[in-house]
Each structure stands twice: as C-alpha cells, then as structure tokens.
Structure 1
Amino acid sequence: MKIFKWFSISDLALGTWKMGGGFWQADYSNDQNDIKAIKRAIELGITAIDTAEMYGNGHAEELVGKAIKDFKRDDLFIITKVWPNHARYEDTIKSAIASSKRLGTYIDLYLLHWPSEVPICETIKAFEDLVDRGIIRFFGLSNFKWKEIEKAKECLRKYEIVAVENHYSLWDRSDEDTLNYANKNGLLYLSYTPIEKGRIASDKILVEMGKKYNKTPIQIAINWYIQIPSLVPIIKSSNVKHLEENIGALGWSLTKEDWNKISESYK
C-alpha cells in the first residue's frame, strides 16, 4: 500500500484499456471475462482501477461499475479520465457526471487524459467544482511533464493536483524528470505500460535476476517499480493467470544492490 498526503492506494493499479472496446468504440463480446478479471484483481488486492471515458466509448467504465458492486466501495480507488476535447468547463462537468453514472459511484481520481488546446485553468476550475459537488474526490493530469504541472498549479484556488499518469518503464525512462518531481512533491505517479505489453519479460537482466529470486522477469520488473516511493504501475490483463503473476511481485523486495543493478542496466 502506498500512502500519500491525501489518500492510500494499492501498490498496483489495474488498467482497463481495451476492456469493453477501443478508441471511442464499444465491444461487448468479452464483457463477462473482463468483469471476472476486474473482480479477481480486487480479490488479489489490486484495489486501484484505472479507466477512461474514451475506453470503449465509456463501456470500460460500465464494466468497472458492474465488477465493483460486490465490494466495499471505501476499499476501492477508482481512476478515470476526461478526453482533451471535453476540457472546456461545461464539457468537463458533463463528462465527469456521465463517467460517474457509468461507474455507478463517485470518482476517486479524475485526470485530464492529455494536454488540450483549452486553457488549463478552465479545466482546473471544473475539477475544483466537481470536488465541491462530490462527483470526484481528487484530480490530476495525464501525459503532462513537470513544467506543465507547475503551470497548472497556478490555476488552483481550493484544492491540489495530487497525481500524474504518464508512460514510464525500464525500456523508456524519458519521463524521469517528472517522476522525480512527483517523488519530491509527494504526488502519486501512475505509470502506464510499465511492462511494455509483456515484451520486457525477455530481457536478459530480468531473466537472470528472476533465477536468483525464484521469480518471473515480470515480477522482478514490477518489484523494481514499486520500490520507487511515488510510483504505482498500472498493469492490464484479462487473464487471471497473468494477474496472479503480477501479484507475485508483492510481499518481498529486491535488495538495494540488485535494485541499483537493474537501474544502471536500463539507463
């Protein structure tokens, strides 16, 4: 469990991209399996779930809403995102209300999915009003660099930006400056595609380290990520076996020496 100033969140988050469809297009063919996977993830202790209005044109949110009905809501941390073409004040309000209805509950963390041509202060004003209305609890930004986050902070009047969600992996550490910024400022840093769709499992350094710890390369990589104070990797799988493998990254730690060895190997 990662503990921040504002909230606590599980060490891993479950991603839902491609559950319920793709880019603004719904697909209902795998609904039962997706719901089963979300439920199993929660049972395994992954209580943070990341989705977006764009995923399946909102259908991913509907699947999350159906999956969480059997669980205690206070134990969950639901994250969703507003698309940049809805970044105008009124559109952001409407999008959040629609997402909340599809989820069947309030939103713990609401993110602007990508930078927009809309002035950031207009979106931030909507975020703050959504907090006041009880539709969302916290807000943040996705695919923003640290300097852009600093600029967005100038818009704040009542609340704080608490999180950023960006791409970060051992293969692509180009966002290290923003990650360091999050660490320094106590922000949650959600890392999407951290295992590069499983391709990272073939890396020699992770394979060799896995033999030492009797763990899979994926488990080694995830354990490396979760030792970074602010970082919560987003893992996505509709395969229960893969979910269980991901959970095997928890409950133990790489030694400082081995963590540093991996870090130096991927610079």
Structure 2
Amino acid sequence: MVLIYRVMADLKYFKKMDRWLPVLGQGTWGVGGGFWSKDTSMDEKWIAALKRGIELGMTLIDTAEMYGAGHSEEIVGRAISGFERDNLFIVSKVWPTHARYDDVVKAAEASMRRLGTYIDLYLIHWPPTEVPLCETMRGLEAVVSRGYAKFIGVSNFGLELIEEARSCLSREDIVAVENKFSLLDRRDEDTVIPYAEKEGMLYLAYTPLEKGQLSKDSFLADIGKKYGKTATQVALNWLIVINPVVPIPKASSIKHVEENAGAMGWRLSQEDWRLISERFRELKA
C-alpha cells in the first residue's frame, strides 16, 4: 500500500485520466431524497452545503440517478452553477435495472440533463444480475462515445469482477472504482486498492465515516488533539493518506462540510497512521 505524505495543494494524480483531483470529495446519498424517492424540503440547505464544499476545494461531487429518484443530480446541477466547469469533477451512476445497452445510454442522457452538464465519470452502481456484464460495459463505452461522460468505472465490484468488466471493453478502460471503505470496513485494503494504485485508477471510498460512528470514536478524538483536529477529520485523513483513495463523505450541511474540509491540508504522522491502523484492524462496522 502506497502512503502519501506530500500535500501539494491536496491533490492526487491519476494516471488513467491524466488528471489531478482533490484528496477529498463530497457524497450526496440522502441529498434530495432516499432510494428512488424525491424530497425537496431541504434543497436550499443542500445546495448551500455543496457550494461551500466546492469553495473549500472539494470539487469532486458524487451522485447517482437512484439518489432521490434523480433529484440529487438536479441539486448538484444547481449547486455547481456559476463555478468554472473545468475545475469540477462530477461522478454519477446508473442503477442495475438500467443495465441493458440502450438503457445505460438513456440513463446517462437523463442524468446529464438533470445535471445540466456532461458527466466526468459514469459508473455502473452495482454489478448487474439480469444482464450480461459485457452488455452493460459496452453501454458505458457508448456513453463516452456520445459525449455524455468522459470516463467510465464500476462501483461495488470486487477484483475479479473488475478484471472481467475490463475484458469486455474495446475502446475505453475502467479508470475508477467506488466501493465502501473505512477504518471499520477494510475488505479492499489488500486487494482492490493496491490493484487500483498499480493501474493508475481512482478509488472512491463511500461511507468513510460509517454513518457518523467514527465521528464519535474516543480513540480518534484523542489522536486528533495532537493535531487540533476532530475524530471525523482524523478518520478522513487516515483514508487520504492512502493512495489512490479519495473519500466522499456526505455533504449534509455547511457545518459538516466545513468539518470534513478540515481533514485536508495536513497529514497524520506515519507513526499515528500505523497506530490507528492496528487499533481498528480487528474491529468491524
């Protein structure tokens, strides 16, 4: 596992895309509603939080067609309005019920319409079960060829499935993997993450704070006192140190976004990083 201790404006370089990205992004699960259910009651709060995150350097935003039945993408579209588009990196995902070739293309077009812009990175949200994987991957290639997205990737895929998905492609390649990863869920630590690093891929870590569980951890809070940081910021920094991981905590409010941003601009010492690693190695979420 490669550890990153150089801050350099807190960017990481990803060879597959030939692009620098922020070490911390913004997630939007629950923003705009839940599982295929729309909620507009807090739109302005969510938009303000995302805008503040962009201002603080978290210019990578992750969303999906399933979040809020597409309303999350609409919120992201409103939040990014007025910012220089080339400075942003927008990720969205297609749900497996839309995994057929034509449906993948239609879904990407609909997501682009809701966002009001092209998609930087388009992922299959979960491995398809009713459609051959190669059909889905060819659909993702078509999304790029039509200009709806710049890059493609996969989410919730293990190493074998990632390699199978790559074997289906003829024109594009997988540039990113988005999986659940945190101090309490380290299934990918010795498999997918080293593979992504070797291949020059981005690894997006969702649920990096285990829905707030790590934010309340007293051990992390005690470590944080040495740096003037919170348990949340320590848990995120532990992830940031790992190349090529970019955690995407939820942008739920301006207060939380500002706390998340405090995970950037510094690094845990190697000693503290390893101490935290050992402390949580045997624990499970």
Band of TM-score, shorter chain: over 0.9
TM-score for the superposition, normalised by structure 2: 0.92
Unpaired runs of 5+ residues, structure 1, are: none
Give distance in 2, aligned partners of 1:254 and 1:175.
21
1:25 aligns with 2:41: no
AA in 2 matched with 1:91: D
AA in 1 matched with 2:278: E
Give distance in 2, aligned partners of 1:202 and 1:263.
17
Give distance in 2, aligned partners of 1:33 and 1:203.
27
Post-superposition CA distance 1:67-86 (Å, at most 9, x none):
11110000000000000010
SS in 1 for 2:257: helix
Give distance in 1, aligned partners of 2:69 and 2:117.
18
Contact kept in structure 1, 2:24 and 2:264, CA below 8 Å? no
Give distance in 1, aligned partners of 2:253 and 2:66.
22
Partner of residue 249 from structure 1, selected from 258, 263, 267: 263
1:74 aligns with 2:86: yes
Give distance in 1, aligned partners of 2:183 and 2:55.
28
Give distance in 2, aligned partners of 1:84 and 1:59.
18
Give the deviation of 1:214 after TM superposition.
1.5
1:41 aligns with 2:87: no
Other-structure match for 2:229 = 215
Identity of aligned residues (%): 57
Post-superposition CA distance 1:218-267 (Å, at most 9, x none):
11111111011100001113221111111111111111111111111111
Q: What is the number of equivalent residue pairs in this alignment?
A: 267
Other-structure match for 2:74 = 62
Give distance in 1, aligned partners of 2:144 and 2:232.
37
Give the deviation of 1:133 after TM superposition.
1.2
RMSD of Structure 2 on Structure 1 (CA): 1.0
AA in 2 matched with 1:120: L
Give the deviation of 1:8 after TM superposition.
2.1
AA in 1 matched with 2:86: D
1:262 aligns with 2:276: yes
Other-structure match for 1:156 = 169
SS in 1 for 2:175: strand
Other-structure match for 1:13 = 25
Greater per-residue helix proportion: 1
TM-score for the superposition, normalised by structure 1: 0.98
